[in-house]
Structure 1
C-alpha cells in the first residue's frame, strides 16, 4: 500500500513527465502506409500522352493536374497534422484506433473523386457530373474532418493516453479546428454549382492553411528550466 502511495505521489509531483510508450507506433506506421498508397494512386491517374503534340495534349488535360495538386495538398496536410498529433500520443485505445481507421477511409477514397472531378471538368457538357464529383470529394474530406475532430476530442478528454497531460489543451484546439474546417469544404462544394473549377481550386486552398498552421507549432518541451512545462 505504501509503495502505491509513493508511486502516486511521484506522479503528482511530476505532472509534465513524458510517458515512455511505443503503443501508438504501429498505428502511425500503418497510417503512413495508407497515406503513401493514396498519394501513389493519385499519380497513376495523371495522363500519359501516346500520340500528338505533347504540349497540346498536356494543356488539354490540365484539369487532371489541377485535381492532382488539390488532392495531394489535402492528403499532405492531413498527414503532417496526423504526425503532429501522434507525437503527443503515448497510448491508444480501441476507440482511437477505430476513429483513425475512419479517417483513413476518407483518405483512401480521395483518389477516386479526384479522377472524377478531372474527367468531368474536361467534359464541359456534363455539368451535373462535375457537381456530383465535387460532392464526392467533399464527402471524403468531411469523413476525414469528422473523424479527426472526434479523435482529438476524445484524446483531450483522456489525458492518460497522452505523453504530457497539458497536451489535452492542444488536442481540444485541434478538434475545434477540424470541425470548423468543414465549413469551407461545404462552401467549396456549393461553388461547384457555378463552376467545378472554382470548387477544385478551393479544395486545394483549404489544406494550405492547415500546412501553415501545423508548421507554426512546435512540440512542447516536457519540463522547462524552472520545472514547469513550456507551452506553445
Structure 2
C-alpha cells in the first residue's frame, strides 16, 4: 500500500483541526486596547497550538515522503496521532477561555495532550522504521531518539511544574515546539525535495 491516501486523509483532518481552532477565536466586543489585552491569552494559546499542529503537519509530510510503503500498523498509529491532534482545539479553547490560562487543570490537560501527541508521533515513526527495516535509509532518517527523549523530559517537567506556576509550564511546552522546529529543519536536509 502506498502512503498517498493516508497522507491525503491526514492533511484533511489537520486542516479541519486548524479551522476549528481559528473559529474559536473571537474578536473583542469593544474597540479598546483593554478589550484587546483581555483576549491576548486566547491568542497566545491559539498561536502555540497552531505552531504545534503545523509542526506535526510538516513532520508528517516529511516522513511520508521517505516512507516507500505502509501497512495496517502504520495506518492505526497514524490514526492514534490524529486523535491526539484533534483534541488540541478543545484544550486550546479551555486555556484561552476567560482566565483559565492560569488554572492548573486546563494547563495540565493541554500539556498532557501535547505529550501524547509527541508519544504518538514517536510511535508512528517507529512503526514506519520497523516496517522498512531497522537498517534502512528510512529508519536512519527517522532516528531522533535523543531529541525525542529531551522533548518528553521537558513535557514531564512542565507538567510537574504546572501546579507551581502555569506560566513556566506553558513556556516549557513552547520550548518543545521550538526544538521541534529545529528538528524539522534537520530532517528537511535529509528528505529529497518534492
Q: TM-score, normalised by structure 2?
A: 0.87
Change beyond 3 A, Cα 1:24–1:123: closer
Asked if structure 2 preserves the Cα contact closer than 8 Å seen for 1:152 and 1:175, the reply is no
Q: Segments of 4+ in structure 1 off by > 6 A?
A: none
**How do 1:79-90 and structure 2 match up within 5 A?**
79-90=57-68
The whole-number CA distance in structure 2 between the counterparts of 1:159 and 1:98 is 16
Whichever structure has more helix as a proportion of its residues is 2
1:118-153 CA-to-partner distances (Å, cap 9, x unmatched) read: 236x258xx6xx211112112211222222222212
- The count of corresponding residues between Structure 1 and Structure 2 is 191
Asked if structure 2 preserves the Cα contact closer than 8 Å seen for 1:149 and 1:176, the reply is no
Q: Secondary structure at the match of 2:97?
A: helix
Are 1:183 and 2:153 an aligned pair? yes
**How do 1:116-155 and structure 2 match up within 5 A?**
116-119=94-97, 122=99, 130-155=103-128
Q: 2:92 is matched with which residue: 110, 114, 122?
A: 114
Instruction: Note the C-alpha offset of 1:178.
Output: 3.2
Asked if structure 2 preserves the Cα contact closer than 8 Å seen for 1:81 and 1:211, the reply is no
Instruction: Compute the RMSD of aligned alpha carbons.
Output: 2.3
**How do 1:209-224 and structure 2 match up within 5 A?**
209-217=179-187, 218-220=189-191
The residue aligned with 2:6 is 27
The residue aligned with 1:104 is 82
Instruction: Note the C-alpha offset of 1:71.
Output: 0.7
Instruction: Note the C-alpha offset of 1:192.
Output: 1.8
**How do 1:48-87 and structure 2 match up within 5 A?**
48-50=27-29, 52-87=30-65
Unmatched segments (≥5 aa) in structure 1 = 1-21, 222-232
Unmatched segments (≥5 aa) in structure 2 = none
The residue aligned with 1:202 is 172
Q: TM-score, normalised by structure 1?
A: 0.74
Instruction: Note the C-alpha offset of 1:180.
Output: 3.8
